[in-house]
Structures are given as structure tokens and as C-alpha cells.
Amino acid sequence: MAGAAASLAAAALPAAPHRGRYERNPATREPAVVKWLLLGLSLGFFLLFILAPLLAVFAQALRKGLEAYVAALAEPDALAALRLTLLAAAIAVPLNLVFGVAAAWAVTKHDFRGKQLLITFIDLPFSVSPVVAGLIYVLVFGAQGWLGPWLSAHEVKVIFAVPGIVLATIFVTVPFVARELIPLMEAQGRDEEEAATVLGASGWQTLWRVTLPNVKWGLLYGVILCNARAMGEFGAVSVVSGHIRGLTNTLPLHVEILYNEYQFAAAFAVASLLALLALVTLALKTVVEWQQARSRR
């Protein structure tokens, strides 16, 4: 009898509203026309300003046929530019990886004077024009710069050489790894690191076995963005390279030279190679985001 009475009482109560997995939030509920309008504007912007120029690059690159396209990419200056681009990225990305991890670890896991100043310095390349960054290196390492006479006396060449290109690439890519890790480490807090320290783990053990496994996908995401910027940098590298064909031209600079010489098919062929690298980077970025969301679930 008691069970039947309880069942009747439960049936008499109003049913609680069922919130499905895809139920819309009342605060963001909009008429269908608004949703379709926003979707159409977004899709139109994507097609007009992103997809159409990308397709135009490949169309122009293949305008003279596949043989001319391959010949433009196999040209010695293009191969030299590709090697230099990969070399600059191969040096800059690991250095920024080490710096980014160290800076994020210092900012999020320790309290010290000047923390805000360090964060400001990390963000500095975002606010300084790449051309200005290149000029800074010219003023420091150029023939008439602060260290120019000493470098010339010791036959060390930085500006208009590979070291200057690497330095400029490092400068413009400094924030990417650190800026990806700092919010992630701050959200995770210090509890696990403090527990590891109490259990007797050293600083290196805590870093390798506690901190880095927790931020591995964010770390990889920052490395991918850093690499994409390193390969596509133009402004700072243009100032310090000297545009020496076959020696100090990266792929973006080689595209500019070919275009200025009215070699449009070759210019677009090399540009398509940069576009392909960008698409590969985007694919890797998407995979990392998916893995990061999966690990959070």
C-alpha cells in the first residue's frame, strides 16, 4: 500500500523538464532566419576571402601545366629557399619549445618579483612589427651596429646571413608555445606538483612525470603554431636576409622575387608549396584539438 501511494504521489507531481543533449539554451535561442543569415555571412566570408584565394593560388600555379609546376619547384634557388626555410624552423621551434616550457613553468608554478614583466616580454613580439624586429637586429649586429665592428674583426657574419634569419625567426615565434601553456597550467593549478614534491620527487621528476604529461596536447598545439609562423615569416626575415638569391632567401622571399620578375607561374608554384605546408599544419592542428578535447572528456 505504501509503495502504491508513493507511486500515485509521484505521478501527481509535475514532470521535471527533460534537458536533452542538444537542447538549446534559452539565452541564445534565435529565430531561424537569424541563424541562417549568420551562417550565410560566415560561409560567404570564408568562400570569398579564404577558399577562393587559396584555389586561385593552385590554379595559377598549374596554369602552364604540371611539368612547368614541377620545374619551378625543382629549380635550384627554390630548393635552396626550401632548405633555408626548414633549417630556420628546425632551429627556432626547439629553442622556443624549451623557452616556452621554462617560462610557463616559472609563471604558473612559482611566485617571484617581476612575473608580470616576464609575461609582458613574452607578448612583446605580438605588439612589435616584424619589420621593426628585423631593424632591431640590424642595429645590434649590422656593420654599423653596436656589435658590428667586433663581429667584423672576428669574421662573424650575422646580418645578411643564416644566423640573422634564425634570430629573426626566433623573435617572432617566441610567444606561441609559452602563451599556449600558461593558461593551461594556470587552470590545472599546483596541487599535483606540490603532492609530488611532498612524496619526494625532484624538480625534474615533477616536470617530466607530472606537469608535461598533463599539458602534452597543449604543448604540441603550441609547437605546431610556432612552426607555421616560422615557415611563413616574411617581414623580419626580409630585413635581415639581404635577398641573396640561393643563399639567404626563404620561401616567402623567393615568392616575392619571382613575382617582381614577372615569373608569375613560378611564383604561384612556390606559393602553393607554402599553402600546402599551411594545410598540413591546419590538419595537424585539428587532430591535436580533437585529441585534446577527447582527453578532457
Q: CA–CA separation, 16 vs 11, rounded Å?
A: 11
pLDDT at 175 (0 to 100): 94
**What pLDDT sits at residue 87?**
96
Predicted local confidence at residue 81, as pLDDT: 95
- Distance between CA 3 and CA 6 in Å, rounded? 5
Residue 278: per-residue pLDDT? 84
| Three-class DSSP category at 159 | coil
Listed as own residue / partner, the contacts of 201-209 with beta carbons closer than 8 Å and 24 or more positions apart are: 207/105
Identify the H or E element spanning 74: helix 66-74
- pTM as predicted: 0.82
- Contact status, residue 285 vs residue 109, Cβ threshold 8 Å: no
Residue 209: its pLDDT value, please? 86
CA distance 49 to 36: 20
Q: Which of these, 226, 224, 213, lies nearest to 284 by C-alpha position?
A: 224
User: Residue 27 has what pLDDT?
Assistant: 53
Per-residue pLDDT of the chain (297 residues; tens, 9 = 90+): 444 444 444 444 444 444 454 455 555 677 788 889 989 999 999 899 888 988 999 999 998 899 999 999 999 999 999 999 999 999 999 999 999 999 999 999 888 888 899 999 999 999 899 999 999 999 999 988 899 899 999 989 999 999 999 999 999 999 999 999 999 998 888 888 888 888 888 878 888 888 888 888 889 889 999 999 999 999 999 999 989 888 999 999 999 999 999 999 999 999 999 999 888 888 888 888 787 777 767
Which residues are CB-contacts of 111 (< 8 A; sequence separation ≥ 6)? Answer: none
